[in-house]
Structure 1
Amino acid sequence: MRVHTNRKSAPGGAVVLAAAAVVLVGCERGAWTGAAPLSSGPAKAGCPAALAQAEAAVRQAEKTDAAWSGPTRGPRAVSGKNIVYVAQTMTNPGVAGTANGVREAARAIGWSIRVIDGQGTPAGIQAAFSQAIALRPSGIVIGGFDPRLTSQQVARATAEHIPLIGWHAVDSPGPSKDPALFSNVTTRVEDVARISADWIITHSHGDAGVVVFTDASIPFARNKSELIKEGLTVCSGVRVLAEENIPLSDTSSRTPLEVSSLLSRFGERWTHSVAINDVYFADAAPALRAARKKGAAAPYNIGAGDGDPSAFQRINSEQFQAATVPEALSEQGWQIVDEFNRAFSGEPASGYVAPVHIATAANSGGATAWDPPGYRAAYRKIWGRPSCC
């Protein structure tokens, strides 16, 4: 799951709306690619085993041609359905990217789809959800916000037997009893945190000074950063220099100042950074540039979540971000449609959780999104739809 602000360079997941004090849950060169790692020194004592495990995990996560590991069986397409996608805000690239995936999949299966924009405010999201229910749809997508914000609307939809499927709506993937969701489509935060830590261990060859950026006001974000730090502790040569608690709503104003302070405090000891959201590095770049840091040099930065287009652009142009752990937004949109088809057919949710991926300049191919192969053909085959159109 991803955490987001509704200013947009950060996509795919949660938004903090301070006015309501409500959490809305919403997504290189020099990077290790199988050749000699950046650091030429030996791994620190006690780290060789952890380093070997991290390298193997990173190799797997960096693959771009892995075979489809999702469902290959399921019900044939149910005809005549109409879906409403209630979006937290369509200015959030993760929410918008997933909505586009749902649109594409709906065309493939032969359904109609309508997107209603909640405009990123509690009142707007509640109004959008109420409008969705009034349309009497076959199913409703909770697109990137916490269902607790719309508990009355969730209760109404449940009473009217309208299946609800979340995208980054709750912490864990799969079905949810409270709130009542047929399924929630997201990656596992544990997997995202672990692979982010593994990338730093691998890229540094087990010798790194790390700064962690988080938003401790959001339980999900705080949990993610704690898991990242835990993952880094397996290598004795990797040291967490600092953890910067910057609310996502304040990243543009606070991150440049904090980065300047970090550079003053740690100098060359600061070799790597990891953030719970790519947006921190958009805001860190001006301070790093002002300090005459090179975009493709230390500190090497990885976003533990999202992979929005701006993050890919920074990675591909080697401008103060080396990697991201992106969501496969279009694929998740297709999975949402497949989960609805299972609900309409009286079958259980698929249980599929997409594996984590690491995107770098070396494996992105210049793309600005992660779009893995195989899922479109797999879902069309399940639904009994032609693969040509």
Structure 2
Amino acid sequence: MHRNRTAAPGPLKTRSVTTALLALAAATVLAGCERGSSSGDPEGSDTGPSGCPAVHARARAAVGQAQKTAVPWNGPTSGPSATSGKTIVYVAQTMTNPGVAGVAESVRAAARVIGWNVRVIDGGGTPAGIEAAMSEAVTLKPSGILIGGFDPGSTSQQAARADAARIPLVGWHAVAAPGPSRRPRLFTNVTTEVEDVARVSGQWVIANSNGHAGVVVFTDASIPFARNKSELIRKELATCPGVRLLAYENIPLPDASSRTPQEISSLLARFRSRWTHSVAINDLYFADAAPAFRAAGTKGSGPPFNIGAGDGDPSAFQRINGEQYQAATVPEPLSLQGWQIVDEFNRAFSGRPASGYVAPVHITTADNSRGATTWDPSGYREAYRKIWGR
């Protein structure tokens, strides 16, 4: 079962690889090209010596730390008390993205506590739809606008109008880094550190495979945040010469339901047992991949062993808990981030700086989820209620 893949290596197999071949392998991975099947049993490659002993040891340590669930609250404990009578408009990239929809739900929950109103406008996942949604949001003249999952640079005219009207903009996964942004202008951007998410996703593959894997990466290159994340994942995978990048699949999230099944079928036919692991910038890909895997007779428990580098929506947890074509996720704490977003707006309305808080990364597997359907750290609700005086 996949949940035991990170256990100590089994009986050793002798491998001798020259320095020149290792260099060639690393260069090939960096180039993103397939370089053939692994030696030995392709479905049991994690039973031999690690393909990158030092990198593998670091990966196992990092993964072990990220899988811990008893994480104390390390966010803000002070700030301005609640302002009243505010309205937030949430412009969503697409509400079919479970992460975007999950944040909308948590923002609404936090807004009820602080006493604000929230309106959601769905951009539908298209440039024209997002631009129209942003125009509508500015026209409504709300207290603040939340940018959910898209680059505000793509709506620069509307963002400039909001800035001129002194409507603060807060982003969720809007730009590559957490915290305030000058270009585009955001009071703050709420997200985990994309470098940490990408790194630990790649490290999970290295640890889970004992440094021997054939990997497919799924991304949406139309979203700068997602493209950056997938490039960082490729970079981490390339630190282990025993890991091969078989394919880099660019599937826009709005097209995932129609395109992913066909791509999965093609990849299975092309790579067969060489395909041992997958990393996707969003769990949504594996929801759409499951029917194709099932039709091909692939076991739900893998291989391939699939990890989502975000966002950790309930359906991803259900697939992980049921061993249905997903082994792990690096979930965003969507509920916590919704509360943080409301707190950041409250700081903006109060003339205070952003909190600077960034949630740490976490890995969920069947072993540590305990049947949960979200990653919901403890302590934040009590902390924010105390700050707001609610």
Which range, TM-score by smaller chain? Answer: 0.7 to 0.9
Preserved CA contact (<8 Å) 2:176 2:228: no
- 1:250 is displaced (CA, Å) by 4.2
Q: 1:276 to 1:147 in 2, by over 3 A?
A: same
Preserved CA contact (<8 Å) 1:143 1:169: yes
Partner-residue secondary structure (3-state), 2:371: coil
1:55 pairs with 60, 67, 70, which one?
60
* Structure 1 stretch displaced more, 250-259 or 332-341: 250-259
Q: 1:249 to 1:167 in 2, by over 3 A?
A: closer
Q: 1:243 to 1:154 in 2, by over 3 A?
A: closer
Partner-residue secondary structure (3-state), 1:31: helix
Q: Does 1:149 align with 2:121?
A: no
1:378 pairs with 360, 380, 383, which one?
383
Structure 2 equivalent of residue 230 of structure 1: 235
Preserved CA contact (<8 Å) 2:99 2:313: yes
Preserved CA contact (<8 Å) 1:32 1:202: no
Q: 1:109 to 1:215 in 2, by over 3 A?
A: closer
Structure 2 equivalent of residue 106 of structure 1: 111
Identity %: 72
Partner-residue secondary structure (3-state), 2:300: coil
Q: Deviations over 1:308-340 (max 9, x none)?
A: 232222212111111111111111111111111
Structure 2 equivalent of residue 139 of structure 1: 144
2:192 pairs with 184, 187, 193, which one?
187
Cα distance in 2, alignment partners of residues 343 and 251 from structure 1: 36
2:3 pairs with 28, 31, 41, which one?
31
**2:2 partner amino acid:** G
Q: 1:135 to 1:367 in 2, by over 3 A?
A: same
Name the one with the larger helix percent: 2
- 1:289 is displaced (CA, Å) by 2.1
**2:385 partner amino acid:** R
Q: 1:35 to 1:159 in 2, by over 3 A?
A: same
- 1:127 is displaced (CA, Å) by 4.1
Partner-residue secondary structure (3-state), 2:2: coil
Preserved CA contact (<8 Å) 1:37 1:204: no
Partner-residue secondary structure (3-state), 1:312: helix
1:344 pairs with 349, 353, 359, which one?
349
Q: Under a length normalisation based on structure 2, what TM-score does the superposition of the two structures give? A: 0.83
Preserved CA contact (<8 Å) 1:34 1:59: no
1:90 pairs with 80, 91, 95, which one?
95
Partner-residue secondary structure (3-state), 1:225: helix
Aligned length: 356
1:287 pairs with 292, 301, 304, which one?
292
Q: 1:152 to 1:201 in 2, by over 3 A?
A: same
Q: 1:300 to 1:375 in 2, by over 3 A?
A: same
Q: Deviations over 1:223-260 (max 9, x none)?
A: 32221121112223222233334444544444334433
Partner-residue secondary structure (3-state), 2:367: coil
Partner-residue secondary structure (3-state), 1:362: helix
Cα distance in 2, alignment partners of residues 77 and 125 from structure 1: 30
- 1:345 is displaced (CA, Å) by 2.0
Partner-residue secondary structure (3-state), 1:166: strand
Q: Does 1:240 align with 2:212?
A: no
Q: 1:219 to 1:142 in 2, by over 3 A?
A: closer
**1:98 partner amino acid:** V
**1:335 partner amino acid:** Q
2:173 pairs with 168, 177, 194, which one?
168
Q: Does 1:43 align with 2:49?
A: yes
Preserved CA contact (<8 Å) 1:273 1:302: yes
Q: 1:43 to 1:109 in 2, by over 3 A?
A: farther
Q: 1:113 to 1:205 in 2, by over 3 A?
A: same
- 1:195 is displaced (CA, Å) by 0.7
- 1:87 is displaced (CA, Å) by 2.7
* Structure 1 stretch displaced more, 329-338 or 305-314: 305-314
Structure 2 equivalent of residue 355 of structure 1: 360
- 1:164 is displaced (CA, Å) by 1.2
Q: Does 1:364 align with 2:369?
A: yes
Cα distance in 2, alignment partners of residues 120 and 252 from structure 1: 13
Preserved CA contact (<8 Å) 1:83 1:111: yes
1:305 pairs with 284, 304, 310, which one?
310
Cα distance in 1, alignment partners of residues 104 and 71 from structure 2: 24
Q: Which runs of 5 or more residues in structure 2 are unaligned?
A: 11-43
- 1:121 is displaced (CA, Å) by 4.3
Q: Deviations over 1:273-317 (max 9, x none)?
A: 112222332333233223322111211111122222322222121
Cα distance in 2, alignment partners of residues 247 and 321 from structure 1: 20
Cα distance in 2, alignment partners of residues 65 and 87 from structure 1: 32
1:267 pairs with 265, 272, 275, which one?
272
Preserved CA contact (<8 Å) 1:33 1:59: no
Q: 1:265 to 1:118 in 2, by over 3 A?
A: closer
Structure 1 equivalent of residue 322 of structure 2: 317
User: Superposition RMSD on alpha carbons, in Å?
Assistant: 2.5
Cα distance in 1, alignment partners of residues 131 and 268 from structure 2: 43
Partner-residue secondary structure (3-state), 1:313: helix
* Structure 1 stretch displaced more, 34-43 or 157-166: 34-43
Q: 1:162 to 1:32 in 2, by over 3 A?
A: farther
- 1:42 is displaced (CA, Å) by 4.0
**1:43 partner amino acid:** P
Q: 1:227 to 1:107 in 2, by over 3 A?
A: same
